[in-house]
Amino acid sequence: MSTNPRSGTIQEINGPIVTIQLPGARNGEQVKIGELGLVGEVIALDGEEAIVQAYESTEGLRPGEPAEGLGWPLSVELGPGLLGGIFDGIQRPLEQIFLRAGDHIPRGLTLPSLDRERSWHFVPDPELEIGAELVTGMRLGTVQETDTIEHRILVPPDRFGDLLELAPEGEYRLEQPIGRVRTPDGRTRKLKLYHRWPVRTPRPFRRRDHGIAPLITGQRILDTFFPLMKGSKGAIPGPFGAGKTMVQQQIARWSNADIVVYVGCGERGNELVDVLESFPKLQDPYTGRNLMERTLLVANTSNMPVVAREASVYVGLTIAEYYRDQGYDVLVLADSTSRWAEALREVSGRLGQMPVEEGYPAYLASRLAAVYERAGRVETGGCGNGSVTLVGAVSPPGGDFSEPVTAHTKEIIQTFWALSKDLADARHYPAVDWVGSFSEHVHTAAEWWHREVDRDWENKRGSALALLARDAELSRIVNLVGPEALSSAQRWELEGAALIKEGVLQQSALDPVDSFASPEKQFLLLNLMLTIYHKGAELIELGVPVQELMTLPMLTRARRAKQTYNSRQTDKLREMLEEIVLEFEQVRLEYAKFEEHAR
Amino acid sequence: MSAREYRTVASARGGLLVVKQVPRVAFGDRVMIRDHRGRQRNGQVIRTSRSEALILVFEGTDDLDLETTWVRFMDEPLEISLSPELLGRVFNGIGEPRDDRPPIVSNVRRSVSGSAINPAARTYPREFIQTGISTIDGLNALVRGQKLPIFSGSGLPHNRLAAQIVRQARLMDEESGFSVVFAALGVSYSDARFFEEDFASSGVLGNVVMYINLADDPPVERLALPRVALTAAEYLAFDMDRHVLVVMTDMTNYAEALREVSTAKGDVPSRKGYPGYLYSDLAEIYERSGRIRDRHGSITLVPVVTMPSDDITHPIPDLTGYITEGQIVLSRELHNQGVYPPIHILPSLSRLMKDGIGKDDTREDHPRVASQLYALYARAQEARNLASIIGAEELSERDRRYLAFADAFDRQFVSQGEDEDRSIIETLNLAWELLSRFPNDALSRVSETDIAKYHHSGKK
Ligand SMILES: Nc1ncnc2c1ncn2[C@@H]1O[C@H](COP(=O)(O)OP(=O)(O)OP(=O)(O)O)[C@@H](O)[C@H]1O
Ligand SMILES: [Mg+2]
């Protein structure tokens, strides 16, 4: 789809939709609009007229102004220099734009996405010889992009063939060739440290593979209760203020992904600044390096043009696929997919397309599925396995999960972390509702947990969920007839559930000790609460009054354990478990003595 | 190109004019309209093609005819003039004087639609503003550069609360207060008057600029008003280095006006007839608040949103909540019990509180005290619900303690005088008075050090 630029004339401007007389235009083609040179994309054709969506505000644009069809689709630059950066919805470098243009984003400004001045130390792959047959995705060499991430320079999808020349180790800028290849059509083409790729076309890979390990996020309610496999798809729906962004930022901080692509899609500017300011100060728990070295941001905030919002998700995914192709486990966080869907709706409405539900076009479900389909664990062309895990926030109007975006998303994803307003209002964070959430991967994740942490993981998880279900049932009874109706054993069940909620499920992102919990800490806390519950239940069976147990100081200690001991102090948690078992034994003995006495 | 006049109006309805045979009019440009009596109205181009333009008329299309209406394209965007002289003045929704004084003259003129702040240009807001109101400062703290709306209902004292915030808001260690931009959208004359008198009596009038559109003023003008007000706020904050507090009441009227116009335009409606772009439209307004790297000033935004039928899931408060950095929610129930300010803490939230409080900003125990009060109050609500079903006498002793706590909390902590300006330390001490009703081991969200230091059982 590469033809020479063609010129046209603006006919009509209706908000972000511009009609341009542009014969020969192609759907998806990039267009420069008006004297300002705004960027846009052809979304429909009607005779000689192209309907173009503008990625920038059209204020001041006039009918009659010139326009130019550029002949290529919306594409991104892929190469070293992406990590640590912040880009807008069409991959313009926002930090450079700030340095160049100040506080506000000017229109019609084109800057290359990747820095052309910077040199990178390229090390050619020692195994490659001149004349070798290059296949897509094969490794040409490496560049140390950040201290932790080795950037693998790959054969671009359209440059396979015979290697004619490969540059020696040394410093290269992005535009300097590092090699030449003869493609099957007989042409000689240059290889550079970067290449371009159209964002709406998934990058090719050798074959799909299944996930083998859970993404560890350090969040107990996620990892222990509703695991997400690397390479799969998850969603976080919830009403405003329930904690979608917090959960996503926690995952961005603490998960064991190699690369994190955070797409701020139609949300707040300050949330991106929060990431930009805090990540460089935070330590990756796996590598000890600052978190920004593995993170990049794509930002279309809610006040930026709606149309670029739709593009931002594809930009993020394409960059993610590029690192996947280098053999990395990449995590994409999209906050919020509802804003992406609303951008679709906005454009379809302006095109006069028939809405089917709540104003959304009929293709909402298929587009949504296609976006999530770009997640997956694959065998790459030349770098082993890589994966893209996609976690999307969903913002249902009025918190109503039956609305179209939430409902369709639920059909597509494998892990569903439903946030509840009631829990959030009570400041139970993360406000993940254990009743409405699900993971289809508990059994697969169990293999990992049983191997790496404890053979009893799946059982313990099951007991905790059962206890929580009993809690809901008993609470209903209490609400009907009052607490007096409950037996001692039932009251202890309520207490047990409270321990699970406070001691395990609740995990403050703001608590420096508990913000991240290793799988081992997660399991030990769960085990601790369950042990207390089971030991207590035994004593109640023997006749120990429940009141006696409820006032045991160990309960408060157990509730505080998560914030008292960090993930490296798991021995302390083990000690605590032993002490608590002893304490219960003590109570049992005392009670036996007391009984004896009474007799 | 100079201004051009046309008399080719083809249709006039719902605040919109279609003008034919007007090639090359720029999208977003300002328009002047003269009606049959020679009176002038203002408009803006909202769609333009080679043959016709669609114009939004801020004063509405009532009483216009097609034959004698003149339309003049001004060949410039909708702009206002900006100077320090703005302070102390009163304007209408499109920035024309409402106070019988001359218009602002200045060579600084800016388009009111503004352009998006580059997220990379922002800095994260983190300076605690003391409003003197315990439920805000203690539990939902406001920081400089935040957008924090008041969600209210008709007849609730949101305006009194907003006025109290304006009077009392200040940084703990700074003398200079805020410059105020006050935006009234579709409010009654008496409400607007209330604010004006309040500003006058507290002596801040000279530091306030007001943009007023009353209930009987043209509704379409409300679409421009917040943008005009924020353009002024941006000038004061980022050109004049001031800390600006913007109060807007009532943004529900803005959204209603938007619905009216979008319906007339034939836009595809989403929920309850509001256009699908209501979210983006409101976000364009609210995201103009914040702090910017290397700039001294800031814009803090406190809009009032009345919830139709007190329903927080109604599209207006709902979409607002998805945009703003929290919300202060007023409760009719508390109001009916005579509690002022009737702030219901459970649905209230300040998302930026986390970085504005604690050891270096307020006091080290603050985050944990807030979390603990929330946990207890949420638990107490359960006890209240239970009591309403089975009667308070039937409650367990534990539940009765929660109940008593909740009542004391509403009476002592939530409730305060309209002129009562509590320091954050007073607020936190008050919190500990309430927390001390519980034994240490019922307080798992505060630390042992906090308990030793502040719990009354620990103090001799
Ligand atoms: N895990 C957590 N730990 C501590 N606080 C939390 C946690 N999750 C959420 N919160 C609190 O809830 C607030 C709102 O969370 P967040 O901004 O993530 O909501 P959201 O669901 O993304 O809302 P919106 O849809 O409006 O963007 C946070 O500012 C924080 O105060
Ligand atoms: Mg969010």
Tell me, yes or no, whether A584 and A550 share the same domain: yes
**What type of residue sits at position B408?**
A
Question: Which bin fits B137, alpha (ψ -120 to 50), beta or left (φ > 0)?
Answer: alpha
Interface contact flag, A60 B276, Cβ < 8 Å: no
From the list A11, A14, A57, the residue facing B115 with the nearest CB is: A57
CA distances from B158 to A118, A240, B142, B324 (A): 55, 21, 16, 17
Q: CA nearest A383: which of A141, A132, A78?
A: A141
Residue B87 CB neighbours (<10 A)? 19
At residue A478, the pLDDT reads: 86
The CA distance from A274 to the nearest CA of chain B, in Å, is: 6
Element spanning A554, H or E:
helix A553-564
pLDDT(B138) > 90: yes
Does residue A204 sit within a domain? no
Nearest CA-CA distance, residue A257 and chain B, Å: 25
Cβ(A242) to ligand 1 under 6 A? yes
CA angle A566–A523–A509, rounded 5-degree value:
45
Chain B positions in Cβ-Cβ contact with residue A398 (cut-off 8 Å): 271, 313-315, 318
Quote the CA–CA distance of B327 and B302 in Å, as a whole number.
9
Contact B296, B241 (CB under 8 A): yes
The Cα B142–Cα B352 span in angstroms is 7
Query: Within a 10 A sphere around the Cβ of A366, how many other Cβ atoms?
Result: 10
Question: At B316, is the secondary structure helix, strand, or coil?
Answer: helix
In this structure, what CATH number is given to the domain that contains residue A585?
A: 1.10.1140.10
Residue A220 in contact with ligand 1 by CB distance below 6 A: no
Percent of chain B residues topping a pLDDT of 90: 82
Given this model, what pLDDT does residue B171 score? 86
Q: In a 3-state reduction of DSSP, which class is residue A300?
A: strand
Q: Is A245 in the pocket of ligand 1 (CB under 6 A)?
A: yes
One domain, residues A242 and A351: yes
Name which residue leads in pLDDT, B314 or A3. Answer: B314
A296/B273 Cα distance (integer angstroms)? 38
SS3 for A13-55 is EECCEEEEECCCCCCCEEEEECCCCEEEEEEEEECCEEEEEEC
The C-alpha atoms of residue A138 and residue A152 are separated, in whole angstroms, by: 9
Q: What is the pLDDT of residue A255?
A: 95
Are A238 and A168 members of one domain?
no
Contact A60 B29 (CB under 8 A): yes
Is A262 in the same domain as A411?
yes
Residues 6+ apart with CB under 8 A from B170: B129, B130, B177, B178
The predicted structure's pLDDT at residue A599? 73
Ligand 1 atom having least distance to the Cα of A395: 25
Ligand 1: atom nearest CA of B322 is: 26
Q: Is residue A528 part of a domain?
A: yes
Q: Is cis: bond before A185, omega within 30 of 0? A: no
Protein residue closest via CA to atom 10 of ligand 1: A243
Domain residue limits at A351: 211-441
> Which atom of ligand 1 sits closest to the CA of residue B354?
31
Q: What is the mean pLDDT of chain B?
A: 93
Tell me which residues of chain A have a pLDDT lower than 50.
1-2
Residue A358 and residue A378: Cα distance in Å, rounded? 36
The three-state secondary structure class of A287 is coil
What residues form DSSP beta bridges with B458?
none
**Amino acid letter for position B91:** F
> Is there a contact between A499 and A506 (Cβ–Cβ < 8 Å)?
no
pLDDT at A360: 93
Kindly report the CA angle at A327 between A159 and A445, in degrees rounded to 5?
Answer: 145
Collect all residues of chain A within an 8 Å Cβ-Cβ radius of residue B396: 483
A298 and A366 share one domain: yes
Length of chain B, please? 460
Whether residue A421 has its Cβ less than 6 Å from ligand 1: no
pLDDT value of position A450: 96
Residues B190-215 have pLDDT tens digits of 999 999 999 999 888 999 999 999 99
Residue A202 lies in a domain: no
| Ligand 1: nearest atom to the Cα of A419 | 21
In angstroms, the Cα distances linking A79 to A320, A326, B171 are 12, 11, 46
Q: Would the CB of A429 count as within 6 Å of ligand 1?
A: yes
* Mutate-to-test residue for ligand 1 from B313, B346, B351, highest number of ligand atoms within 8 A of CB: B351
Instruction: Point out the ligand nearest to the CA of residue A249.
Output: 1
Give exposure, A333-346, as e/b (b: 16+ Cβ within 10 Å): bbbbbbbbbbbbbb
Label the pairing between strands A195-198 and A75-78.
antiparallel
Residues of A in contact with B26 (CB under 8 A): 59-62
Calpha distance A216→B324 (Å, rounded) = 31
Out of B124, B270, B444, closest to residue A556 by CB? B444
C-alpha angle A295/A297/A303, rounded to 5°? 160
Mean pLDDT of B114-133: 94
Supply the Cα-derived Rg of chain A in whole angstroms.
Answer: 28
- Residues 6 or more apart whose CB falls under 8 angstroms from that of A345 comprise A355, A359, A360, A361, A364, B268, B270, B276
Residue A509 near ligand 1, beta carbon < 6 Å: yes
Of the candidates B172, B84, B147, the residue with the CA atom closest to the CA atom of residue B320: B147
CA angle B408, B413, B416 (to 5 degrees): 115
Q: Do A321 and A220 share a structural domain?
A: yes
Query: Are both A514 and A403 inside the same structural domain?
Result: no
- Contact across the interface for B77 and A60, Cβ inside 8 Å: yes
Asked if A240 and A208 touch (Cβ cutoff 8 Å), the reply is: no
Nearest CA to CA, how far is B316 from chain A (Å)? 10
Taking the C-alpha atoms of residue B135 and residue B370, their distance in angstroms, rounded to an integer, is 10
List of E strands, B389-459: none
CA distance A20 to A128: 49
Residue A429 belongs to some domain of the structure: yes
| Residue in the structure block whose two tokens are 């993170």 | A295
**For residue A555, which residues of chain B lie inside 8 Å, CB to CB?**
441
The count of other CB atoms within 10 Å of the CB of residue B125 is: 25
Token pair recorded at residue A308: 């670029």
A221 in the same domain as A192? no
In the listed set A196, A230, A253, which residue is the last one of a domain according to the structure?
A: A196
Atom of ligand 1 at shortest range from CA of A249: 18
Identify whether residues A461 and A581 lie together within a single domain.
yes
- Please name the amino acid found at residue A543: G
pLDDT at B460 over 50: no
Q: Is A501 on the interface with B (CB under 8 A)?
A: no
Distance, CA of A411 to CA of A414 (rounded, Å): 8
Q: Which of A19, A20, A48, A303 to mutate to test the interface with B (most CBs of B within 10 A)?
A: A303
Residues of B in contact with A302 (CB under 8 A): 279-280, 283-284, 287, 323
The continuous run of DSSP H or E covering A191 comes out as: strand A188-191
Query: In angstroms, what is the span from residue A243 Cα to ligand 2's centroid?
Result: 7
| Ligand number with the minimum distance to the CA of B326 | 1
CATH of the domain at A130: 2.40.50.100
Largest pairwise CA distance in chain B: 87
List, in sequence order, the alpha helices (H) in A293-429. Answer: 306-324, 337-350, 364-372, 404-412, 421-425
- Sheet with A139-144, strands from edge to edge, namely A150-154, A139-144, A119-124, A170-173
**Domain end: A168, A196, A224, which one?**
A196
Number of domains in chain A: 4
Domain CATH number, residue A12: 2.40.30.20
Residue A170 sits in the same domain as residue A278: no
> What are the pLDDT digits (tens) for B64-73?
999 999 999 9
Q: How far is CA A76 from CA A32, A54, A72, A149, A202, in A?
A: 17, 17, 11, 20, 12
pLDDT at residue number A89: 93
> How far is it, in rounded angstroms, from Cα A524 to Cα A517?
10
Q: Which of A220, A221, A236, A246 to mutate to test the pocket of ligand 1 (most atoms within 8 A of CB)?
A: A246
Within a domain: residue A93? no
Q: What is the mean pLDDT of residues B111-117?
A: 90
Closest CA to B445 of B376, B399, B383: B376
CA distance A307 to A299: 13
DSSP A56: S
- For the residues of B100-156, what is the DSSP string, one character each? SSPPP--S-EEETT--PBPGGGEE---PEEE-S-HHHHTTS-EETT-B-PEEE-TTS
**Across residues B217-233, what is the average pLDDT?**
96
Q: What CATH number is associated with residue A324?
A: 3.40.50.300
Which residues fall within 8 angstroms of residue A66, CB to CB, at 6 or more apart? A7, A8, A9, A10, A34, A35
Contacts of A517 (CB under 8 A, 6+ apart): A218, A219, A220, A507, A525, A562, A567
Q: Which residues pair with A74 in a beta bridge?
A: none
Contact A210, A376 (CB under 8 A): no
A575's enclosing H/E stretch is helix A570-598
Interface of A with B in 38-77 (CB under 8 A): 57-64
Binary contact (B77, A359; C-beta < 8 A): no
Can you list the domains of chain B with their CATH numbers?
A: 4-77 (2.40.10.170), 81-354 (3.40.50.12240), 366-458 (no CATH)
pLDDT value, residue A481: 81
Task: Using the 3D structure, point to which of A196, A224, A256 is the last residue of a domain.
Answer: A196
Q: How large is the ipTM?
A: 0.93
Residues in contact with B300: Cβ distance below 8 Å, sequence separation at least 6, in sequence order: B129, B142, B143, B144, B145, B146, B147, B148, B178, B243, B244, B245, B246, B289
B47 and A425: CB-CB below 8 Å?
no
Nearest chain B alpha carbon to A102: B121
Q: How far is CA A270 from CA A90, A555, B51, in A?
A: 20, 39, 42
Of A58, A273, A510, Cβ closest to residue B122:
A273
Q: Is residue A273 a part of any domain in this protein?
A: yes
If you take atom 8 of ligand 1, which residue's CA is the nearest one?
A: A243
Residue A1: predicted pLDDT: 43
Give nearest CA residue, ligand 1 atom 25: A240
Distances, alpha carbon A109 to alpha carbons A38, A88, A105, in Å: 8, 12, 9
* A311 falls within a domain: yes
Q: Examine residue A106 and state whether it is found in any structural domain, yes or no.
A: no
Q: Is A405 on the interface with B (CB under 8 A)?
A: no
Read off the amino acid at residue A483: P
Cis amide leading into B154 (omega within 30):
no
List CB contacts (< 8 A) between B74 and chain A: none
Model-wide pTM > 0.90: yes
According to the model, what pLDDT value does residue A485 have?
84
| Distance, CA of A565 to CA of B197 (rounded, Å) | 56
Assess whether the C-beta atom of A508 lies below 6 angstroms from ligand 1: yes
DSSP A216: P
Say yes or no: A222 and A159 in one domain. no
> Does the CB atom of residue B351 touch ligand 1 within 6 A?
yes
Q: Determine the distance in angstroms separating the CA of B198 from the nearest CA of chain A, rounded to an integer.
A: 32
Hey, are the CB atoms on B290 and A269 less than 8 Å from each other? yes
Same domain, yes or no: A369 and A508: no
Q: Give the pLDDT band (50/70/90) at residue B5.
A: confident
